[in-house]
Amino acid sequence: MSRKNVSKMELGSLAEWVTGLAEFIAVIVALFLPFFRERREKKQTTLHLISIGLKLAHRILKEKARAPEQDLTELADFEFFTRYVSTVTIINSEHQVFLVLTQIADLLDQVQQAELSVSQAEVQLKNLTPKKLREVKA
């Protein structure tokens, strides 16, 4: 080989560069797409679990408003809520779900102890809505 041939390197055509870049991008997307999908699914699951807890709490408070003299622990929805919280905290490792469900349980306990009225508890529950949680997580 002559010295001339060694010093000249072919950079390739524009089409080869575009193809190489497209392949590189495809590999990057293939590597990271599952991560982003899993993250999105985890967020949706978290919001769904919290939404269920909030709906149950609203039902409990509505029932308490209809019958203020009734003990919360005697309500079927309250029993279901406590079972739901226990089950979710066992099977779901997301810390935010645990925190929000615990806050809901504390609110219901304050209503039971007559530290909060039903209307005050409703206002505080609205601050825990999934829409507000999405804004915090985003």
Tokens for 28, please give them.
């990057």
Cα 6 to Cα 72: distance, rounded to the nearest angstrom: 86
Helix-helix angle 95-112:130-137, to 10 degrees = 140
Instruction: Please count the residues of the chain.
Output: 138
Which secondary structure element, helix H or strand E, spans residue 9, and what is its range?
none
Helix-helix angle 14-66:95-112, to 10 degrees = 10
Region label for 70, one of left (φ > 0), alpha (ψ between -120 and 50) or beta (otherwise): beta
Which amino acid makes up residue 68? Answer: P
Cα 32 to Cα 38: distance, rounded to the nearest angstrom: 10
Q: Give pLDDT tens digits along the chain (138 positions).
A: 445 555 566 777 888 899 999 999 999 988 888 988 998 998 888 889 999 999 999 999 999 999 888 898 888 899 999 999 999 988 888 888 888 899 999 999 999 998 989 999 999 888 877 665 655 444
